[in-house]
Each structure stands twice: as C-alpha cells, then as structure tokens.
C-alpha cells in the first residue's frame, strides 16, 4: 500500500517537522537518498526559516527549502506527531512516518511504531523488510536520528535492539565520529554562556523533584544563543539526583510561549502536554501556549507537581 502509493507518485515532498532535529531530518534524508534511485522529483521541505547548522553534515542539507513546491502529488512526513508540526496546509495524500506516542494517525497512510526509539529505527526496519538497499548516506542519516533520540545512547530506553541497530548502521557506512563531532562537539560559546545563566536561575520545586527554567528574549539577547541551544540544560537538570521532571518555558518572538518538558519517565510528559494540545514521548514532550495564558502554565505545573507526589 505504502510502496504502491510511492510508486504511483511523480513528485514527492518529504516533510520534516518545524525546527527539525536529527531524527526528523535524518529520516527524511535517508528517504531522499532512496527516492533519488528512481526517476521521481523529490523536494525536501521544512517550514522553519533556518535549520540547526549542526545538522549540516547530513546529506541533502543544502536541498532543504521552506517553499512548498507546485505540482507535487504525495507528501511524506518524518517524526511529526500531528499535522500541526508540518507547518504547511497542502492537502495532498500523506504518508505519516513516526514513533511519537502522541501520534494521532493524521496521514492517509500511517507507518507509526511507538516502540521505536527513533523514527530512523522504524525506517531501518521498513527498508530491510522491503529489501531496500541502505547505502552509506542513508546509514549515516539513520544513525544520526538514532544517536539523537537515544541521547547519545544514554537513554534508559536503549535496548539490545538499539545497539544491534547501531552496529548494523556503522557496518553499512555510518560514521560515528562525524555524527558525534557535529552533534555534540560544536557547541557555541553563546550556548555555554546561556547554560550558565539558566542553571543559575533554575528554580527547584516539589522537594527538588521539579526544575523550572524560563528563557526570555533578554536571555537570548544577552548570550547570543539561539532557541535550539536552550533545551540542553533540561537534560542537565535531570542529572540532579532529586530531579524527575524539568520544564522550560521559552518566550518566542511571535508572542507565543513554547513549553518543553523532560522527565525520567516516571511522569508521562506526553499526556501532560496533551492537556494543552501538545504531545511527544513519555520522557520528552512539548506544547505551545499564548504568552498571555499564564493560567495554562500554572495548570501544567500543578499537574506535574501532583504526579510527582
Ligand atoms: Mn524522534
């Protein structure tokens, strides 16, 4: 069904979510490589204006466009939990490839496996099941997604399957050193400065089980850091022995506030974010609220505190 839909299409748009991470973009790049073997037209679309420059090592990074093409007849989304994440209105048949627990099966065809640690894990299974050869570029792209979503293999969800997959992808040509260098060794001075400010201002609640961060436009201006660089401190907060949930609110220039929640898995981040229209994974989820809507934020914090008790 999925393959015949792809076979029948002439111009396929691969869509990554807004502000794509290595899993979304890696998945799309692997698929891009695969589709180039045929005679189809392929577009790599991202609604965000700028994409994290630390992902420029991925093949086809320079092909990303924020202009939705005319004349396409099929869309495939990668790592998008809901239609909103696509950031485009096009009403074409859509193949939804994802692993988010909160995925609402918005595609015409849905290839969703919430047991997969990354979208690229389920893509690997898809390629293997369909005898699609994985070349070096594809292996690198899939590996980057695996590395990102497993938090560089530090996630408690790393099973033997994850390590077997890492093994297979490296055998197929993924370069671990290149991925680690680009994804974890190219931090900007601005992001280190921001980290210092945010850790200093971190508030602890619920007997130290909940860490709260607030990122304002002032923080970003003071440090020169970008929004991408903010979320790393959430993971650091979870390294504290008492912290089981870390929440960050990021003031966005367009007047909305983005909320990111990371937990140790004992609190379901996805279901808490779903209360205000967001979603994600058990240990990592997000939502967006209006800046004026402080009550929603208070409700979220109260709910987390309740679940931490
Ligand atoms: Mn993912």
Are 2-184 and 189-308 equal in CATH topology? no
Mean pLDDT by runs of 10 across the 309 residues of the chain is: 95 96 98 96 95 95 97 98 93 97 96 97 98 98 97 93 98 98 92 93 97 93 82 92 97 87 95 93 92 88 95
Class of domain 2-184: alpha beta
Alpha carbon of 121 to ligand 1 centroid (Å): 9
Determine the Cα–Cα distance for residues 250 and 258; give it in Å rounded to an integer: 5
Q: How far is the CA of 18 from the centre of ligand 1 (A)?
A: 13
Fold of 189-308: Diaminopimelate Epimerase; Chain A, domain 1 (3.10.310)
Give residue 247 CA to ligand 1 midpoint distance, Å. Answer: 19
DSSP state letters, 178-212: HHHHHHHS---HHHHHHHHHHHHH-EEETTTTEEE
* Domain spans in the chain, listed from the N-terminal domain onward: 2-184, 189-308
What torsion, rounded to 10 degrees, do the Cα atoms 286, 291, 295, 296 define? -20
**In residues, how long is the chain?**
309
Distance, CA 301 to ligand 1 centroid (Å)? Answer: 25
Q: How far, in Å, from the CA of 207 to the mean position of ligand 1?
A: 31
Q: What's the pTM?
A: 0.91
Please give the distance, rounded to the nearest whole angstrom, from the Cα atom of residue 62 to the centre of ligand 1: 21
Residue 86 alpha carbon to ligand 1 centre in Å: 14
């Amino acid at each position: 069904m999925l393959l015949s839909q792809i076979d029948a299409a002439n111009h396929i748009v691969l869509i990554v979510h807004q502000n794509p991470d290595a899993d979304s973009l890696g998945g799309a790049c692997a698929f891009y490589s695969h589709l180039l073997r045929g005679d189809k037209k392929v577009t790599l679309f991202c609604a965000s204006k700028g994409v994290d420059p630390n992902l420029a090592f991925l093949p086809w990074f320079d092909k990303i466009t924020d202009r939705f093409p005319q004349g396409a007849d099929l869309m495939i989304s990668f790592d998008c939990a809901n239609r909103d994440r696509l950031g485009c209105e096009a009403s074409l048949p859509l193949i939804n490839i994802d692993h988010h627990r909160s995925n609402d099966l918005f595609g015409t065809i849905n290839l969703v496996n919430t047991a997969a640690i990354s979208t690229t894990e389920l893509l690997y299974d898809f390629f293997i099941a369909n005898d699609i050869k994985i070349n070096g570029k594809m292996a690198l792209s899939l590996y980057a997604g695996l590395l990102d979503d497993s938090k560089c293999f530090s996630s408690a969800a790393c099973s033997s399957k994850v390590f077997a997959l890492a093994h297979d992808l490296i055998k197929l040509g993924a370069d671990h050193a290149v991925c680690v260098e680009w994804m974890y060794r190219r931090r900007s001075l601005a992001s280190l400065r921001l980290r210092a400010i945010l850790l200093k201002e971190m508030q602890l609640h619920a007997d130290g089980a909940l860490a709260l961060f607030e990122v304002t436009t002032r923080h970003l201006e003071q440090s020169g850091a970008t929004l991408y660089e903010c979320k790393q401190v959430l993971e650091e907060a979870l390294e504290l022995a008492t912290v089981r949930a870390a929440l960050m609110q990021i003031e966005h220039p367009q007047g909305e506030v983005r909320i990111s929640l990371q937990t140790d898995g004992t609190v379901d981040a996805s279901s808490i974010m779903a209360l205000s229209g967001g979603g994600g994974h058990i240990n990592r989820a997000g939502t967006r609220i209006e800046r004026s809507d402080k009550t929603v934020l208070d409700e979220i914090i109260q709910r987390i505190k309740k679940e931490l008790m």
